[in-house]
Every structure is written in C-alpha cells, then in structure tokens.
Structure 1
Amino acid sequence: MHERVMRVLEFDKIKEQLAEHVSSSLGRDKAVKLTPSSDFAEVVRLQEETDEAANVLRIKGNIPLGGIFDIRAHIKRAAIGGMLSPYELMQVASTVHASRQMKRFIEAVSEEEISIPILVDYAEQIIVLAELEESIKMAIDDNGEVLDGASEVLRSLRHQLRTKEARVREKLESMIRSSNASKMLSDAIITIRNDRFVIPVKQEYRSHYGGMIHDQSASGQTLFIEPQMVVELNNELQGIRIKEEQEIQRILIELTVKVAEQQPELETIVDILTELDFMFAKARYAKKIKASKPLMNNEGRISLNKARHPLIPIDEVVANDMNIGIDFTTIVITGPNTGGKTVTLKTVGLCTLMAQAGLQVPAYDGSEMAVFDEVYADIGDEQSIEQSLSTFSSHMVNIVEILKSVHYNSLVLFDELGAGTDPQEGAALAISILDEVYKRGARVIATTHYPELKAYGYNREGVSNASVEFDVETLSPTYKLLIGVPGRSNAFEISRRLGLNESVIENARSHISADTNQIENMIASLENSRRQAESERDEAHDYLQDAERLHKDLQKEMIEFYEHKDRMFEKASEEASELIENAKAEAEKIIRDLRKMRIEKQAEVKEHELIEARRKLEEAAPPKIVKKSAVKAANKKHTLSPGDEVKVISFGQKGTLIAKKSDGLWEVQIGILKMKVEESDLEYLGSPKQEQKRHLATVKGRDYHVSLELDLRGERYENALMRVEKYIDDALLAAYPRVSIIHGKGTGALRQGVQEYLKNHRSVKRIRFGDAGEGGTGVTIVEFK
C-alpha cells in the first residue's frame, strides 16, 4: 500500500491507538510497523489470529502477558562473548518465565475444548527453559541485585564485609560519643567517602584524629577524615570488596554463558511472545472500538453492516450500511457540504486497510471485506505551495498517478471529483474519469457536487447513486448514507426556512430548467418512498417480534396446561383405582361369603356367574396412565429420525418429525403447525417404511392406516392432483368420514385444481374451507358420502 494513501486515510492513527493495548515493547514495535497485506491467504490467517485472541479474551477476561522484555540485544551480546549485567539477566529470566506461563495458559484453555489451533501451534513452539530461569533467579533478585546465595564464596565474602563494617562503625561511634566530640565534630554522624568510612571534623581539629582526609565541605570548614585507628580496618574492607566484585563477575559470566547456550531457543521465545502480544493487542483494540471479524473474499465484494469510522467517538459517530461489488461496482455520492460524504469514503477505505492488516472492523457481525492489491485515494486539498499547484491541479496530479496503475483488483476513492474548475468541464471530466476506472474493473466510490453526475448512476450499468441525508427542518445533516438515492439541492427549502421571501424563491425557481426541476422532484419522491418503506419495515419488524413473543408464551401456556391436565387426570385415575380396589376387596369378601353360603345352605349361586361378576368389576377399573419414563424406555428401542410418526405427549397430538435441532430439540409438524419439542416429550408411533410394509402385507380396508390429512405444499400441480386421487381412494378404503387436504394459499391455482377435482368425485359429499383453527383458506375439508 502507498504511504500517502495510508496517511490520507489516517491509518497511522489506528496504529497509534493499537499500540496503546500492547503489553511489551516487542508488541509496540510490531504495532508501529503494521502494514496491510494484499495476500489473501495471509489476510485470512491474520483475521483468524485476531479472532482466536478475541475469543480467549472474551472467555477468560485476561491473559498472563506481563514481564516480557525485548532481550534480543542481550542474547546477541551473550552469543559473542560479552557479559550481561544483573538487570539484563533478570530481564532474560522474566521473559522466560512469561513464556512458560503463557504456554501453560494456552494449554489450559485448549483443554476446555475451546478451538484455538493457532495459539496452540504457537505454544508448542515455546521451549520451556526452566533450568536457565531457575539458575538466574537463584543468583539475582527482581531488582537486578546479585543475591548472597549466588555462590558459597559470595556468601562468605559478604558475611566478612558485614562483620568488618560493624567493627569499623563500632570504633567510629565510640569517637563521636566521646565527651569532646561535640566540640570537634561538625555533626555526630558516620558517613562514607570513596567507599571508606569517615567522620566530619571541624577544620581547626584536623590533627586531633590523625588519619586521611577524603573530602571537605563547600565552605572548607568541615573535613571528612578517616581516623588513623580505622584505616587498617577500611583497608581490609576494600580488599574484601574487590574479592566480592570478582566473584560477582565470575557468577555473571557463568550465567551469561548459559544464556548464550540457549540462543536459538531464546530467540524463538522472543518471536512467539511478540506474535502473542500483538495478537492480543489487536483483540483488545477490537473490544475497545466494538469491532467484529469480517468475512474476507478476493472477489471485490464489500458489505459493511452499520459501519463506523473508528477515529470518531462511538457516542458521536453515525453508523451506515455500505455495499459495493455485488450489484454495482461504482457508487457516486452526492449531498451538501459537511454532510458526511468524505467520512463515508474514509470509513470504507480505513476499514479495508484495517481488514487487510488483520484488524477487526468497527461494524456489526456478518460484514464482508475484500482483499485488494492496492487502495487509491484522492481525498482533501493537498495543493503544494512549493510547486505552485492549484486545488484542481493537485487533484489531477493524484488522479493521473492513479490512472497509471489502477486495475480490476483496486479500490479507488475520489473526493469531490472534478472540483476546482469550470462546472461544465469539471463534470464532463469527472464522468470520463469514472468511465475509465469502471472499464478497468476497479471498485470506485466518488463524491461530487455536480448535478450532471446524479444521472450518471441511471445511465450506466453497474453504477449506483447514493447521498447523505439532510434534515430541512433542523437545517442540519443526519450523516445517514442512502444507497440508490441521489442527493438533491436543498437551497430553496433552506432559504424558505431561514425566512427568504417566497416571491424571491419562486423567481429563482423559474431560472431552473424543467429537467432539473423534474430530477429534484423525482429525488424528493424517492426520499419520501424510502422513509415510508423504512417506517413500514420497522413496524413489520415490531409486529413480528410481538407475534414471536406471543407464540412462545402460548406454547409455554399450552405445555403447562397439558402438564396440569395430565397431573389432574393421573391423580383422578389413582383415586378411582383406589376406590375400585376397595370395591374389589369388598366384592371378593362378598363372593367368599356367597360361596360359603352355597356350601353351607345349598344356595343356587353358580361358579361361572361369580367369575363373570369379577371380570366386569376388573373392566370397570380406569386405564393406567403411561408416564414419560415408560415413553423414554420405548423410545430407546427405536432411534428417532426425520419422517417418523410420533405423539407429542404434552399436547396429546400426533405429528411427523421434520429435523433435529442443534439444541437437542426436534422440529415436529402437527397439522399445519411446526414447533420445537423436547425428545423426552415424544412417543414413537411408527415410520414411513413400516407403514409401507404394513400396506403391502395388509388387505386394504377399514383397518388400513391412512393419515387424516394430506399436505400438498411445495408440490407441482400435476403431482399434487395424482397424490389427491390416490389419497381419496385410500381414505375411502379406510372408511374415513372426513379428511383434510392442505394446499396452502399461494396463487390459488393449486387450491382451485384440487377443489375442481373433488367437486366431480362421485364419493365426495361436500367440501369446504377450513375454519380459523383448521388453517382457513389454506385447507380444504372433504366429507364423504
């Protein structure tokens, strides 16, 4: 991409905002150097990376990317034999620790069955250098100081240092606490000069303490003297410090060698952490601007849903839809100044650059972006004083350069095309330039003030007009983009609103040509029609939402009703069963008594009469209700599949399975209704194949199974009539008194053909349309003789 285009579209500001979301200098460098790619496969991969990071960020909220440093220079110096400082070694250990934490985090996320193949691949490339990390942390603390435990020698030397320092301080403190110290010392303190312990002595008492003078105050009245009695101890301290420094250097060199040995692994870690930091920076930025992943294509299609300019605050910007490359490849936008035309151009151009750089775009889900080889833009007044170029000349220089290289896979943005010169010549030149770019197959969006270009979209195939809306009532633009409607002049309406005399306005209108007035009236009519269509669409959407809500509420209430009915029926059945059981027990007692009486008194009560009485008593018991657990057991014997006939237990209705949904529900056709039902609420009745076998094995007659309705929706006219003929024969053989034929409303041709056939059938008594609850005019009810 051209640097000038990225500057004009303000892509640099996007990179600055992106850099605010990195976790390290590594990510910042990559953000600052970000450029769009024109390779389709690479762009798709970059978008997948950002989307994975966004998913992880949404689920986990945060990621362990702290403690990362740019250690590339440290690694290089260690590899060529240099010695790293304690602070540099600490940065190496911290970066290694961060890589280990990130690897563990990604592995944990992947175990939660979250699909993150790109992150998993990066994690697999990270080599865990736990031994190097531990060696450095055992020797150096988080502040870059070498620890006493770095080696036994260092521990011993530092112990000696502390002991010697204590002895020196003890001797000096005895001096400053003496009776005459307050007279001879400027201050009763012990301080350090040139790494040696000294005391501040007044100039006139310098000879009292002897020893060495290391410094004096600015006034010269105080001398910092190392008394003779501690000179030897200070000498010993210096000797120990030299040994300490030598031991520290030995430790640092040893650790530096370990870093050099892991050079390839450390360089890989730095590269991977750079990519991970940058990926999650893109995800954080997408979250900030409420962006979404666009679907990428290499066919020049752009479809933005409610797109916003990312550099305008969300609470101020107006979102717009934008489509190009599907029905048309050129858009000409007209409208008033400050109406948002240039912002629209920049929004499309900037979203394109962002998408091709792997950034998500500030638009709703489902947006689609194309990968272009080049994006060209001639936006703004960039005249050069040094070159003495006018506004028109400056624009033409840019356009000439664009026309030299534009081709079919280019996006071209023209702002105020042909402006800055004679209107007639400028309009003619604008049309010619648009024609030339259109012939080359490029995608073009141009803004203009010229009325001649309003007709351009009507006279050219593949070109569409567009405009930015202007509210005459408030005398301000709405910044809303209208595709397919050219902008119209609002000068007369604005003048009238501002109080200009009507006679002046009418006089001005008389100077406008009839064609111009006709075009303006046509545009006004289009705008009114659009507003009405939008209003009706919004109203229809509200009705649809209300209908869906009512449907869900009704379905819920029906389920609750049938569940309540089943519970009440089950309760009543149990009560009746209990009463009958009691009655049976009482009857058994009476029968026993009767038998006893027959035996004892030779009564004429026959045995078969007693058996018949018991049988009638048992038949009086109500049928047991089959509970859902039994239905589940029955369903387990058969795996439900589309086409099976089932009973919806909660409704008590028969239906046919259509398809199984992803949420575990089945879509069931019950008459003319379709609804989603849980599998546990379905009882398997049979399948079409079983019905066919039963049909072949059984003589057609009163027991032959035929559905009470025939659904013809979606059938061709000839096939539908053949099905009706066969169905009527089957229904007559099954001895049905009445059946339903579902033909739908549609154009009415199928309905009329079905009813004509039925009227002439010798076995049909009468036909009628269904009632409101039966499907209305979409269903014909047939009664047989």
Structure 2
Amino acid sequence: MEKTLRILEFDRIIARLQDFTITACGRQKAAALSPSFQLEKVETMQRETSEAVLVTLRDLINLASCPDLAGCLQRAAKGGTLSATELILLHDFLKNTELLQIGFLKQDRIREHAPSLCTLVARIIPLPLVVSPIKRCLDHHGEFKDDASPLLLSLRREEHELQGKIKESLEAYIRSPLYQKYLQENIITLRQDRYVLPVKHQFSRQIPGVVHGHSASGQTLFVEPLPVMELNNRLQGIRVKMEYEMERLLRELSALIQVNGESIFLNYQNYGEIDLILARGKLSLQYAGNEPQLNERGFISIRGGRHPHLPPEAAVPVDLYLGDDFCSLIITGPNTGGKTVTLKMAGLFVLMAQCGLHLPARPGSEISLFDGIWADIGDEQDVTQSLSTFSGHMRNITEIITNASSRSLVLLDELGAGTDPSEGSALAMAILDELYRQGVRTVATTHINDLKIFAHLHPGMENASMEFDTETLSPTFRLLIGVPGQSNAINVAARLGMPGAVLEKACSYMRRELLNLDEAVSDLLIAKQKLSRETEEVEEIKEELASSRDELTDQLSALERRKKEILARAREEAREMLRSTKHKTDEMIKKLDAAAREENKIKGLRMAEETRRQVKEIIDTGTLAEPYWKMGEDEGIAEIGLEQLRAGEAVYVRSLGTMGEIQRVVSAGEIQVSIGTLKVWTGIKDLGKSQRPGSVRENSGRKEKRTEQVLMWDKTAEVRPHIDLRGLTLEDAVIKVDKHLDDSILAGLEQLVIIHGKGSGRLREGLRTYLQGKYMVKSIRPGLEGEGGSGVTIVTLVK
C-alpha cells in the first residue's frame, strides 16, 4: 500500500490537508492519515467531514491554535518540573477547550446538524481545578504574579524596598558635584545583577568600590560603590529566596498536571481530532467536493470527477464506472490524452474516500471499499538492480497477481508496452484474464490494438477511450466508456499535409482487420457522440420536469396548509359562535324568567321568540352548518354500543357537534341526553364515544342553580293535530299555541288546526298576527267550508 500511495502522489493530498490544520496534534494526525478498510468507520468519517463542511460554512465553531504539548505532558507524567511558559501554554489550551465546549454545544439544533462533532466536543473534560491555580500564579506572559504565594509577595515587597534604597544611594553620586565629573554617564546600570555606576577609566580610584567589568573600548569601568555593596548583597539574597519559592510553585503546578495528565492528554487528542475533521471539511470546500456513497461490492461510479492535483479550471470532469456490468476497463487512446491522469484519479478517489475525504466530483458518486489498491504506473527501470523498464513492470505485476484478491483494485498503466508488440499483447491478455479470474477490479491503459478486440470479446471486460478532436488535432480529455480508442496517426498526418501517396502506402502496410476496426470504431464514436447529445437533452428535460414537479408539490403543500388553516379557523369561529349564542340564550332565558315572574307574559314570549329567531338566523347563515362545525369534529369519535349506554356516561352528539351526558335510556331509539341546561331526546346512531382525552366540554357536567329548560319529545304521548283555544285570553292562548307548535314540530306534523271561535275576532286576529312571526310556520289561512270557516285557522308547518 505504501508504494501505491507514493505512485498516486497521495502525499500531496495529505500536504494540502495539513495546511488546513491549526494545531500541532491535528497536523500530526493528518500526516498519519491512512485508508480504513471498515465500512462503518469510513461512513462515520465521511459524516464527520460533511458536518465539518456545514459548521465551517455557517461559522458555528471557533477552534484556537495549539502548539505541541505532548512533550511537556510526558515530562510531567514522569514527575518532571515544567517551566512557567509550558504551564501557561497548558492553561491556555485547557481554557480554549472549555470555551469550545460551552460555545459549540449551546447553539440551537447543533446536535441535529453535527451529531458526530457534538459527541467529540462533549468528550472534553473541563478541568477548572487545574486552570485556576495556574491562572492564580502566572500571568498570560508566563511570569509569576506578586501574590502567587504569601511568601513571594513578602519577598517582592522587600526586593522593591531594597531596590529603592540602592537607587537612592547611587543617585546621590550622580547628583553630587564632587563625583559627577568622574562619571561617563549620569545613569545607573546593571552588571552581574548588581547595580553599578559607569565611571571614566582614569578616575576609577576616585569612587571606592568593586569593578564589575568595563566597556568594549575600555574607557568605562562599571563600579559598585562600597556604600551599596551591602544593599546589593541583601538584594541578591532576596532574589535567591524568590527563585526557591518560584521553583517550589512550579513543582506544585507540575504535580497538578501530573495528577490530571491522563485527562489533559485525552483533551489534547480530542482537540487534535476535531482540528483534523474541520481540516477535512475545509479541504472539501476547496475541492468543491461531495460525500460519496459507499459499498463493499466492488462497484465504482464517478460522476464528473476532477483530478485533485489539477487546477479546478484546467480539470475536465470525467465519468467512470466499474464493477457492475464489467470488472475490467481497458482504456486506449493517444498519448497525452489523459489516460494516465484518469487512471490515477480512480485510485486517488478510492484512497480519499477510505480516508474520510470528500471527492472532487458531482453528488451521487459511489466508491467501493477495497482491502488493497495495487498500481503499476510509470517507469520502474532500476539501474542498481540491472532491471529494464519492462522487467520493472513485470516484477510489479507479478507481485500484484500474487497478492491481489477479489476485494482489490488494480491499476495498470501501458500494459504490454516495453517489449515486442506481439509478445507484449499476448502477455497483457493473459494478465488481464488472470486478474478477471481472481475477481479483481482492474483499470488498465494500453496502446495495443489486440487488447481492444480482446476486451470486446471477453465477457466482464469493457473498452474505453479518451476522446480526440480530429478537427483541432487535440485530445478533449473526456472518457468514453464502450468505445475503443483510435491512434489517429494517419488522420493527424493527413491534417498536417502529409502527401497522399505516402498515406496510401501507409494504409496498404496496415492489416486489413485493423483498418476495418478503425472504421468501425469511428462509426461507433459518431453514434456514441450522437447518443450522448440526446442523453444530455433528455437529462435536461428530466431536470426541468423534476423542477416543475417540485414546484407543483410545494404549491399543493401550501394549498393544503392553507386549507387546514381555513378549516381550523372556521371551526374555531363556529365554536365561538356556538358559545356566544348559548350565552345569549341563557341571558335571554333569565330575562324570560324574570318577565314571567312579573306576570308580563306577552313580553316574555316575545323575548323567547326573539331568541329562537336569532338561533334560526345563525343556522340559516351556515355558521353552525355541518361543513363548519361538524367538519373535523367526528375525527376521533367511535361508534357506541347499546351496552355502553348508561346514565352519567359522556357521549358525543353528532347532530349538535358537542359532548353531552346520558340522563335516561329507554331504548336504542329513545335516549335522553343533557347538554348543559338543555335536554334532548335522540337515538343511538346520533351518539358516539370520544377517543380523545379532554374532549368532554366543561359545560356537559355543570350544574346550574336556575330552573332547567327541558326540550323533550315523548313518543309515547300523542300530539293532536288541533288545539281548542276558545274561551281563553290572548295571552293564555299564545302560551298554549306556542308549546303546541313545538310539540307538533317534534312530532313531525305538517299541519295544525287552531280553533278560536268567531266571537268578536280579537282572539283570531291576535293569534294570526303572532303566528306570522314564527319561524316554524310556513303559512296560515282561514278554514274552508267544512273545516270550521272563520272560526278556525289552518297553520302549515315547516318540514
């Protein structure tokens, strides 16, 4: 495999990948990246790369750079003492991992968009007990803070005081007119960590003290005056103590790293893995890559593949497939036509896919996992082993035949070249046949004409060629599967002005079967190009149809959503109207009761009639008609059996579109149901059982203190088609006729005869005036001769 990686220049892919890493660990992981042979692992890596593309495009992750920390972690694990610089690097790393975890995981729907990255980020172990002590002792430059420990704070205060005294003493020399003339400069400087004065060489004895050196020219001596020697000695002692204290703090912090070393190292590796995944995503974006589909059955389908080593603007997209109808693909065609580039691209794509990298190809490309990729490409001449080019190829191919399996991919460049054409042709056919017998997927390039015929006649093999433009005398670099290549040598010579006689003689020297083959290939190529153009047109039409279908689907979905919204709003409006109407009815009934108690019966009756009229208007306008209030209500309503009917049971009344409670069961056709303060008689077919919790309306079981208004029709009682009102006052007559009209409607009568007598006519005219405003009255007329004449009124009821 290592040899194949080198031949296919996979290291260039790795180098590009490393350029996108920002951590030392991530870069090391990129350098060690190698193909995986486990389908589940490769699928996971491909998903990770896709997630990295998404989070990179949306800028959802912020990864900070990180130097190589492996060495200091190993030293700490062995009990070594880390430097302040190393400790602050570890502090910054741990702080960055903590910020990464908090910032990444808090984003909305991030676990849905990037589950694999979320899992890696969630594995980070927060270590505040490591971060805090380092931050308390060191600043961001890696210097110890004054308050790193009480002792260090005390020593630094003492150091500061001594420095002040020393400088004050030395400044007295600088200010003194006596000594000022002996100084080279009016400054205080340091030599060997001791404060000194720059004294002119000729006046060195004028300022008693210790000389700690001289300038490069020798004209200046650095003298420590005797009065500050003791102060400098004390300062040096303080500094020694400070060094001991800082060394002690470094040991303590290093021990803290040692104790938590395993967790820190896991975080370090995790952080590097996240960096590698993000680098794979960035590489995919640079390549305009896509995640390939994966399989283990040896099938390859590359759609619009571009060689990753070529500039995007120079790469010609190539379609290549293998392993379905045929296992061996023989590519022929002119030199510099792109055969070797296509061969290497196929091998690189397999390697990239098995490393979790996206492919620079169109979506829908599919790659099989192989347990080995073998390649014989390029000049294998070896002077040191006295091997010719042909011998080098044969040695490689021998190794391939010996080691390849049915799960291997073999790439052979210029098979059969480098020796006598007839022997090379025979050997190439035998090699291809053996590889096919072993079930190996093979892609080979060649110039040998006999291999074209061999591939055409051999089941499981297929010809392919690199397209050549005879008009421009240049290759197009497009791969044509199913068409063997032409050398085009004679055509090119003719285009370049070669004399016709020479061309004719050249053709005469060619074998007739080869000329026929070239003619057949030329015809086939023309037909293939025509078919390709027609296929492209069909694909364009399919894309347009698919686009139109998607657009129509979206429109239908929008209409369906709009329909549901309208129906839901209509049902809610209907329910609200029903609630409002019930409220108004209850209020009017209260007023009716009050009017009745005040013995204002006619006024009460008119108010009741107004209530009925308003309810009728609501029903007539369709507000509570079935398409509004019933639509959707029966969803979740099941049929109910007679054995389930018992007093107190909650049921759904279909005709009224609401819930009620059973009061009394006489038979399947006679069931009394209460709905709030209303009681109705109905049958079992009008009732149902709700399967949805909470569907029983609150008013179904509410007990009211006021007198219940009961609407009942007792089928056992006979409702007569006439009523005698003679001798009653108009007010009493109205009350009786009103109740009889309700009973008549419930009984299904079509006509009612009201007997009021002739008399003064006051009762007759009052009743007829009242009946004309009743919504259940279709028409009224006087009685005919034989019906009672003007002493009766015939009322036709609505059905």
**1:321-340 counterparts in 2 under 5 A?**
321-340=319-338
SS in structure 1 opposite 2:631?
helix
Contact 2:318/2:478 (<8 A) preserved: yes
Alpha-carbon distance in 2 for matches of 1:297, 1:557: 37
**1:685-696 counterparts in 2 under 5 A?**
none
Contact 1:403/1:437 (<8 A) preserved: yes
Alpha-carbon distance in 1 for matches of 2:462, 2:315: 24
Contact 2:110/2:118 (<8 A) preserved: no
Kindly state the Cα deviation for residue 8 of structure 1 after the two structures are TM-superposed.
0.4
CA distance change for structure 1 residues 29 and 194 in 2, over 3 Å: closer, same or farther?
A: same
Contact 1:106/1:119 (<8 A) preserved: no
Alignment match, 1:673: none
Alignment match, 2:218: 220
Alpha-carbon distance in 1 for matches of 2:501, 2:163: 104
Kindly state the Cα deviation for residue 286 of structure 1 after the two structures are TM-superposed.
1.6
Alignment match, 2:28: 29
SS in structure 2 opposite 1:55?
helix
CA distance change for structure 1 residues 541 and 406 in 2, over 3 Å: closer, same or farther?
A: closer
Alignment match, 1:312: 310
Alignment match, 1:268: 266
Contact 2:329/2:444 (<8 A) preserved: yes
Amino acid of the structure 1 residue aligned with 2:16: Q
Alpha-carbon distance in 1 for matches of 2:56, 2:235: 56
Alignment match, 1:47: 46
Alpha-carbon distance in 1 for matches of 2:348, 2:70: 33
SS in structure 1 opposite 2:311?
coil
Alignment match, 1:355: 353
Alpha-carbon distance in 2 for matches of 1:365, 1:548: 17
SS in structure 1 opposite 2:298?
coil
Does residue 278 (structure 1) correspond to residue 276 (structure 2)? The answer is yes
Alignment match, 1:535: 533
Kindly state the Cα deviation for residue 98 of structure 1 after the two structures are TM-superposed.
2.2
**1:65-144 counterparts in 2 under 5 A?**
65-109=63-107, 111-144=109-142
**1:421-570 counterparts in 2 under 5 A?**
421-543=419-541
Unaligned 5+ runs, structure 2: 563-612, 637-799
Kindly state the Cα deviation for residue 637 of structure 1 after the two structures are TM-superposed.
5.4
Deviations 1:738-759 (A, max 9, x none): xxxxxxxxxxxxxxxxxxxxxx
Contact 1:68/1:98 (<8 A) preserved: no
Does residue 634 (structure 1) correspond to residue 634 (structure 2)? The answer is no
Alignment match, 1:405: 403
Contact 2:60/2:104 (<8 A) preserved: no
Amino acid of the structure 1 residue aligned with 2:240: I
Contact 2:469/2:475 (<8 A) preserved: yes
Alignment match, 1:366: 364
Kindly state the Cα deviation for residue 632 of structure 1 after the two structures are TM-superposed.
10
Contact 1:331/1:446 (<8 A) preserved: yes
Alpha-carbon distance in 1 for matches of 2:316, 2:433: 31
SS in structure 2 opposite 1:66?
coil
Contact 2:179/2:207 (<8 A) preserved: no
CA distance change for structure 1 residues 24 and 554 in 2, over 3 Å: closer, same or farther?
A: closer
Alignment match, 1:659: none
Amino acid of the structure 2 residue aligned with 1:131: L
Alignment match, 1:568: none
CA distance change for structure 1 residues 559 and 408 in 2, over 3 Å: closer, same or farther?
A: closer
Deviations 1:203-253 (A, max 9, x none): 101111111111111222211111222222212211211121111112111
Contact 1:300/1:371 (<8 A) preserved: yes
CA distance change for structure 1 residues 185 and 376 in 2, over 3 Å: closer, same or farther?
A: same
Deviations 1:667-707 (A, max 9, x none): xxxxxxxxxxxxxxxxxxxxxxxxxxxxxxxxxxxxxxxxx
Kindly state the Cα deviation for residue 56 of structure 1 after the two structures are TM-superposed.
2.6
**1:138-177 counterparts in 2 under 5 A?**
138-177=136-175
Contact 1:18/1:285 (<8 A) preserved: yes
Alpha-carbon distance in 1 for matches of 2:101, 2:546: 47
Alignment match, 1:414: 412
Contact 2:306/2:360 (<8 A) preserved: yes
Alignment match, 2:14: 15
Amino acid of the structure 2 residue aligned with 1:21: F
CA distance change for structure 1 residues 327 and 549 in 2, over 3 Å: closer, same or farther?
A: closer
- For normalisation by structure 2, the TM-score amounts to 0.68
Alpha-carbon distance in 2 for matches of 1:519, 1:189: 99
SS in structure 2 opposite 1:274?
helix
Alpha-carbon distance in 2 for matches of 1:549, 1:437: 45
SS in structure 2 opposite 1:213?
strand
Kindly state the Cα deviation for residue 420 of structure 1 after the two structures are TM-superposed.
0.5
Alpha-carbon distance in 1 for matches of 2:515, 2:623: 79
- Between stretches 256-265 and 500-509, larger displacement belongs to 500-509
Alpha-carbon distance in 2 for matches of 1:251, 1:444: 65
Alignment match, 1:297: 295
CA distance change for structure 1 residues 87 and 549 in 2, over 3 Å: closer, same or farther?
A: closer
SS in structure 2 opposite 1:184?
coil
CA distance change for structure 1 residues 67 and 317 in 2, over 3 Å: closer, same or farther?
A: closer
> Matched residue pairs, number?
584
Kindly state the Cα deviation for residue 559 of structure 1 after the two structures are TM-superposed.
13
CA distance change for structure 1 residues 112 and 275 in 2, over 3 Å: closer, same or farther?
A: closer
Alpha-carbon distance in 2 for matches of 1:58, 1:454: 47
Alpha-carbon distance in 2 for matches of 1:633, 1:250: 84
Kindly state the Cα deviation for residue 545 of structure 1 after the two structures are TM-superposed.
5.4
Contact 1:332/1:464 (<8 A) preserved: yes
Kindly state the Cα deviation for residue 181 of structure 1 after the two structures are TM-superposed.
5.6
Amino acid of the structure 2 residue aligned with 1:48: R
CA distance change for structure 1 residues 213 and 281 in 2, over 3 Å: closer, same or farther?
A: same
CA distance change for structure 1 residues 247 and 552 in 2, over 3 Å: closer, same or farther?
A: closer
Alignment match, 2:589: none
Deviations 1:125-165 (A, max 9, x none): 32211121111111112221111121222222222222322
Alpha-carbon distance in 2 for matches of 1:560, 1:128: 48
Alpha-carbon distance in 2 for matches of 1:503, 1:558: 71
SS in structure 2 opposite 1:421?
coil
- Between stretches 176-185 and 130-139, larger displacement belongs to 176-185
Contact 1:64/1:98 (<8 A) preserved: no
Amino acid of the structure 2 residue aligned with 1:328: F
Contact 1:466/1:484 (<8 A) preserved: yes
Unaligned 5+ runs, structure 1: 564-614, 640-785
Alpha-carbon distance in 2 for matches of 1:242, 1:527: 89
CA distance change for structure 1 residues 630 and 186 in 2, over 3 Å: closer, same or farther?
A: farther
Alignment match, 1:254: 252
Kindly state the Cα deviation for residue 113 of structure 1 after the two structures are TM-superposed.
4.8
Alpha-carbon distance in 1 for matches of 2:253, 2:63: 25
Contact 1:110/1:116 (<8 A) preserved: no
Deviations 1:68-103 (A, max 9, x none): 343333233223322111111112212211222232
Larger radius of gyration: 2
Amino acid of the structure 1 residue aligned with 2:307: H
Alpha-carbon distance in 2 for matches of 1:18, 1:631: 64
Alignment match, 2:570: none
Amino acid of the structure 2 residue aligned with 1:116: A
Kindly state the Cα deviation for residue 624 of structure 1 after the two structures are TM-superposed.
8.2
SS in structure 2 opposite 1:457?
helix
Kindly state the Cα deviation for residue 176 of structure 1 after the two structures are TM-superposed.
2.7
Contact 2:173/2:180 (<8 A) preserved: no
SS in structure 2 opposite 1:480?
strand
CA distance change for structure 1 residues 233 and 22 in 2, over 3 Å: closer, same or farther?
A: same
SS in structure 1 opposite 2:221?
strand
Alignment match, 2:575: none
- For normalisation by structure 1, the TM-score amounts to 0.69
Alpha-carbon distance in 1 for matches of 2:463, 2:44: 35
Deviations 1:285-339 (A, max 9, x none): 2222122211221111111111111111111111111111111100000011111
CA distance change for structure 1 residues 329 and 551 in 2, over 3 Å: closer, same or farther?
A: closer
Alpha-carbon distance in 2 for matches of 1:543, 1:295: 26
Kindly state the Cα deviation for residue 553 of structure 1 after the two structures are TM-superposed.
9.0
Alpha-carbon distance in 2 for matches of 1:491, 1:207: 101
- Aligned-residue sequence identity (percent) comes to 40
Alpha-carbon distance in 1 for matches of 2:35, 2:93: 29
